[in-house]
Amino acid sequence: MTHYQKIMKKIEDNTEVVGVIGLGYVGLPLAVTFARNGVQVLGFEKSTKKADKVNKAENYIGDVSDSDLVKVVKETRKLSATTDFSRIKECDAILICVPTPLDHFKKPDMTYIASSCTDIGKYMKPGTFISLESTTYPTTTENFMKPIIEKESGLKEGDGFWLCFSPERVDPGNIDYKTDNTPKVFGAIGKEAQDIAQAVYSKAIKYLHVVSSPRAAEMVKILENTYRLINISLINELALLAGKMDIDIWEVIDAAKTKPYGFQAFYPGPGIGGHCIPLDPFYLEHIAKLYNFDLSMIHTAGAINDLMPYRMMNKIAFALNRHKKAMNGSKILFMGIAYKPNIDDARESPALLVMQEVAKKGSVVLYHDPYINEVTDEKGNYYKGEQLTDELLSSVDCVVFTTNHDCFDVKHIVEKSKLVVDTRNAVKNVQIETDKVFKL
Amino acid sequence: MTHYQKIMKKIEDNTEVVGVIGLGYVGLPLAVTFARNGVQVLGFEKSTKKADKVNKAENYIGDVSDSDLVKVVKETRKLSATTDFSRIKECDAILICVPTPLDHFKKPDMTYIASSCTDIGKYMKPGTFISLESTTYPTTTENFMKPIIEKESGLKEGDGFWLCFSPERVDPGNIDYKTDNTPKVFGAIGKEAQDIAQAVYSKAIKYLHVVSSPRAAEMVKILENTYRLINISLINELALLAGKMDIDIWEVIDAAKTKPYGFQAFYPGPGIGGHCIPLDPFYLEHIAKLYNFDLSMIHTAGAINDLMPYRMMNKIAFALNRHKKAMNGSKILFMGIAYKPNIDDARESPALLVMQEVAKKGSVVLYHDPYINEVTDEKGNYYKGEQLTDELLSSVDCVVFTTNHDCFDVKHIVEKSKLVVDTRNAVKNVQIETDKVFKL
**pLDDT for residue B277:** 81
CA pair distance A161, A127, nearest whole angstrom: 5
Strand partners, B211: B187
The predicted structure's pLDDT at residue B51: 98
Query: Which residues of chain B are within 8 Å of residue A220 when distances are taken between CB atoms?
Result: 252, 255-256
Subunit contact A244:B293, Cβ cutoff 8 A = yes
Which of A205, A184, A15 has the alpha carbon at shortest distance from A93? A15
Disruptive mutation site among B226, B227, B314 for chain A (greatest number of A CBs within 10 Å): B227
Residues of B in contact with A171 (CB under 8 A): 261-262
Find the helix packing angle between B214-244 and A249-256, rounded to 10°: 70
User: ipTM score of the complex?
Assistant: 0.93
pTM: 0.94
Give the pLDDT confidence of B211-233 residue by residue, as tens digits. Answer: 999 999 999 999 999 999 999 99
Listed residue (B64, B5, B7, B4) closest to B203, CA to CA? B7
pLDDT at B348 over 90: no
In this complex, the residue of A182, A234, A261 whose CB is nearest that of residue B171 is A261
Fold annotation for B249-439: Rossmann fold (3.40.50)
What integer pLDDT is reported at residue A423 of this predicted model?
Answer: 93
Average pLDDT over all residues of chain A: 95
**Inter-chain CB proximity A226 and B238 less than 8 Å:** yes
For A245, which of B183, B209, B215 is closest by C-beta distance?
Answer: B215
Q: Which CATH architecture has domain A3-217?
A: 3-Layer(aba) Sandwich (3.40)
Q: What is the phi/psi pair of residue B392, to 5°? A: -60, -50
Interface test with B, best of A224, A237, A247, A300 (most B CBs within 10 A): A247
Subunit contact A216:B253, Cβ cutoff 8 A: no
Q: Which residues in chain B have their CB less than 8 angstroms from residue A212's CB?
A: 248, 251
Q: How far apart are CA B306 and CA B347, in angstroms?
A: 15
What is residue A82's three-state secondary structure?
strand
List chain B residues with CB under 8 Å of A258: 183, 185, 207, 209
Q: Was domain B3-212 assigned CATH 3.40.605.10?
A: no
Determine contact, residues A120/A98, Cβ cutoff 8 Å. no
**Alpha-carbon torsion, ordered B147, B150, B154, B159, to 10 deg:** -140
* Cβ <8 Å between B262 and A293: no
In 3D, which of A258, A417, A277 has the Cα closest to residue A345? Answer: A277
Considering only CA atoms, give the Rg of chain B: 24
List, in sequence order, every residue forming a beta bridge with B421; answer none if it has no partner. Answer: B400, B438
CA distance B214 to chain A (A): 10
For residue A403, the one-letter residue type is T
Smallest Cβ distance to A259: which of B212, B215, B224? B224
Yes or no, beta carbons of A219 and B247 under 8 Å apart: yes
Q: Determine the residue of chain A that is closest to B222 in CA distance.
A: A256
- Does residue B436 contact residue B420 with C-beta atoms inside 8 Å? yes
Question: Hey, are the CB atoms on A300 and B296 less than 8 Å from each other?
Answer: yes
Between chains, do B241 and A288 touch, taking CB under 8 Å as contact? yes
Taking an 8 Å cut-off on Cβ atoms, the answer to whether A296 and B303 are in contact is yes
B255 and A220 in contact by Cβ < 8 A? Answer: yes
Query: Can you tell me the distance from the alpha carbon of B228 to that of A378, in angstroms, rounded to the nearest whole number?
Result: 36
Residue from A294, A297, A306 to probe the interface with B (highest B Cβ count within 10 Å): A297
Angle at B160 between CA B80 and CA A252, to 5 degrees: 80
The residue annotated as part of the active site, out of B117, B276, B398, B407, is: B276
Single out the catalytic residue among A91, A97, A117, A276: A276
3-state secondary structure of A421: strand
Number of H helices, E strands in chain A: 14, 15
Give the separation between CA B436 and CA A272, rounded to whole angstroms: 44
CB contacts of B219 in chain A (<8 Å) are 238, 242, 245, 247, 249, 252
Q: Which residue, among A238, A296, A226, has the nearest Cα to A267 in the 3D structure?
A: A238
Rounded Cα distance between A101 and A109, Å, is 6
Residues B2, B4: Cα–Cα separation, whole Å: 5
- Cβ pair A222, A138 in contact under 8 A: yes
CB within 8 Å of B211: residues ≥ 6 apart: A251, A252, A255, B185, B186, B187, B217, B220
Q: Are B112 and B136 in contact (CB under 8 A)?
A: no
Cβ atoms of residues A319 and A299 within 8 Å: no
A253 and B183 within 8 Å at the Cβ level: the answer is: no
Q: How many CB pairs under 8 A join A and B?
A: 181
On the question of a common fold for B3-212 and B249-439, the answer reads yes
**Cα–Cα distance, A420 to A413 (Å, whole number):** 9
Q: Which residue positions in chain A have pLDDT lower than 50?
A: none
Q: Which of B211, B247, B303 sits opposite A216 (nearest CB)?
A: B247
Searching chain B, which residue's CA lies closest to the CA of residue A212? Answer: B251
Tell me the residue ranges of DSSP E strands in B242-342: 331-335
Number of residues that this document lists for chain A: 440
Amino acid at B297: M
For this structure, is A91 an active site residue? no
User: What are the φ and ψ backbone dihedral angles of B28, each rounded to 5 degrees?
Assistant: -65, -50
Q: Each residue of B265-287: pLDDT tens digit?
A: 999 999 887 778 888 899 999 99
- CA distances to B166, B221, B287 from B217, rounded to whole Å, are 6, 7, 15
> Which residues, 6 or more positions from B403, have their beta carbon under 8 angstroms from its beta carbon?
B335, B336, B337, B338, B339, B340, B341, B349, B351, B369, B424
Q: Which residues of A touch B253 (CB under 8 A)?
A: 223
Q: Report d(CA A370, CA A384) in Å as an integer.
A: 12
Give the angle subtended at the CA of B233 by the CAs of B238 and A302, to the nearest 5°: 75
Hey, is A216 helix, strand or coil? helix
Identify the closest residue of chain A to B169 by CA–CA distance: A259
Contact A255 B217 (CB under 8 A): yes
> Are the CB atoms for B21 and B94 separated by under 8 Å?
yes
Nearest CA-CA partner of A4 in A147, A188, A161: A161
Shortest distance, CA A177 to any CA of chain B (angstroms): 8
Give the gap in angstroms from C-alpha A36 to the nearest C-alpha of chain B.
23
DSSP 8-class letter at B102? B
Q: Which residue of B has its CA nearest to A177?
A: B260
* d(C-alpha B154, C-alpha B160), whole Å: 9
- B136 vs A contacts (CB less than 8 Å): none
Give how far A373 is from chain B: nearest CA, Å. Answer: 29
| A228 contacts B182? CB cut-off 8 A | no
Strand partners, A421: A400, A438
Sheet of A161-165, strand order: A79-82, A40-44, A17-21, A93-96, A128-132, A161-165, A184-188, A208-211
What is the tens place of the pLDDT at every residue in B50-65?
999 999 999 999 899 9
Q: Where are the domains of chain A?
A: 3-217, 249-439
Please, what sign has the CA dihedral across residues B32, B34, B39, B40? negative
For B277, nearest residue in chain A (alpha carbons):
A262
CB A75 within 8 A of CB A61: no
Are the C-beta atoms of residues A2 and A252 closer than 8 Å to each other? no
Q: Do the Cβ atoms of A242 and B219 come within 8 Å?
A: yes
